[in-house]
């Protein structure tokens, strides 16, 4: 009995691709962002559906599954409503706030044997998460939760996320970490092989290896920056006005270079801008290229993000990459589900 899955918030396919590389068939991906259509289908041999899950019901989803397969429903809902506690409380009626409840509704209406969810750890502070867990338990699901530190799983990026696995078959476990701190994959491991480019330049070998333009002031700033350092290392004439104010003095994780021998900072939707975080290249005077960001998210180098690669738009592609679940975490989830099925007498494929 093979596993067949549907990815409800598929994005560009980080989760889907990781699972497919481990032999799990994610046959459909659903998202509201039309920019996801091309990369999801082009890289995954799967069908993309442009739709809001609030417009779907259990019958719609059930029709996507073949008979006699073990059904998997993945729902890594957008984390923006939960990423800042104060902001989330203010915007609790935000349209995205209800997505976890909608995911719960679709689980109840389709009864998949397997479920997975990923989100920011802060989600656990909210009643909507407790309600989600209680609803799953009332449906008979066995649940495991873990705050997963991604470098422990081979991702060369500092990121901690809440991972949930659920099963109707019995107790389920997330694959244990395989990397000790001295073995963590680093920025050097992930991107040092790429050819050198200048700020604003595109590699002739890879159109995704493209970096943003930089102002002359930011050139001076990055040249004054040390790997792992902060803007406090600069001469006073380079420091921005906002950082001279009392509130701005605490924002030290911007305008910095990454370090070769450590995992990168968390890749965000604005990771190709030097001033948006510690996204400066360790040696070259520029911010991360799109390809470097994708590699730090563990997308394979062959992964294509835009059909018109000669006219890539930096901002939407960076957003897609930053919003993605790292591919290697998709692999971890897939191996966890396959091991779980084997434990209950199935072949796990």
- Which of the residues are catalytic? 79
Beta bridge partners of 117: 164
Dihedral sign, Cα of residue 72, residue 162, residue 106, residue 30: negative
Question: Taking the CA atoms of the chain, what radius of gyration do you get in angstroms?
Answer: 21
Q: Which two tokens stand for residue 92?
A: 């609790």
Q: What angle do CA 96, 48, 79 make, to 5 degrees?
A: 25
- Give the CA diameter of the chain: 68
What 3-state DSSP class applies to 80? helix
Pick from 16, 130, 126, 142: which is nearest to 73 by CA?
16
Pick from 6, 8, 164: which is nearest to 71 by CA?
6
Q: What angle do CA 206, 207, 212 make, to 5 degrees?
A: 120
DSSP 81: G
The total number of residues shown for the chain amounts to 349
CA 224, CA 331: separation in Å to the nearest integer? 39
> Residue 32 contacts by C-beta under 8 Å, 6 or more apart in sequence?
50, 51, 52
């Amino acid at each position: 009995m093979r596993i067949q899955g549907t990815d409800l918030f598929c994005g560009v396919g980080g989760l889907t691709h990781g699972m497919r590389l481990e032999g799990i068939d994610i046959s459909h991906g659903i998202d509201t962002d039309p920019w996801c259509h091309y990369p999801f289908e082009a890289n995954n041999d799967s069908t993309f559906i442009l739709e809001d899950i609030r417009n779907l019901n259990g019958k719609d989803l059930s029709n996507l599954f073949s008979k006699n397969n073990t059904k998997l429903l993945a729902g890594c809902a957008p984390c923006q409503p939960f990423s800042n506690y104060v902001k989330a409380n203010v915007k609790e009626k935000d349209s995205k706030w209800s997505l976890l409840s909608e995911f719960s509704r679709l689980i109840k209406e389709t009864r998949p044997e397997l479920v997975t969810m990923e989100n920011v750890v802060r989600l656990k502070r909210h009643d909507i998460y407790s309600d989600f867990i209680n609803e799953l338990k009332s449906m008979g699901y066995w649940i495991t939760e873990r705050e997963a530190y991604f470098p422990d799983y081979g991702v060369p990026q500092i990121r901690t996320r809440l991972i949930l696995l659920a099963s109707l078959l019995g107790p389920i476990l997330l694959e244990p970490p395989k990397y000790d701190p001295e073995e963590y994959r680093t920025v050097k491991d992930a991107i040092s092989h790429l050819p050198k480019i200048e700020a604003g330049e595109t590699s002739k070998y890879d159109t995704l290896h493209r970096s943003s333009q930089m102002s002359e002031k930011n050139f001076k700033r990055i040249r004054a920056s040390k790997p792992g350092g902060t803007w406090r290392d600069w001469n006073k004439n380079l420091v921005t006005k906002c950082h001279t104010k009392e509130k701005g003095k605490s924002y030290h994780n911007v305008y910095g270079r990454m370090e070769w021998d450590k995992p990168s900072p968390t890749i965000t939707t604005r990771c190709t801008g030097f001033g948006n975080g510690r996204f400066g290249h360790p040696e070259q005077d520029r911010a991360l290229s799109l390809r470097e960001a994708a590699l730090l998210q563990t997308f394979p180098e062959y992964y294509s993000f835009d059909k018109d690669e000669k006219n890539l738009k930096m901002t939407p592609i960076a957003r897609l990459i930053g919003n993605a679940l790292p591919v290697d975490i998709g692999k971890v989830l897939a191996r966890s589900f396959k091991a779980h099925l084997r434990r209950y007498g199935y072949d796990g494929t």
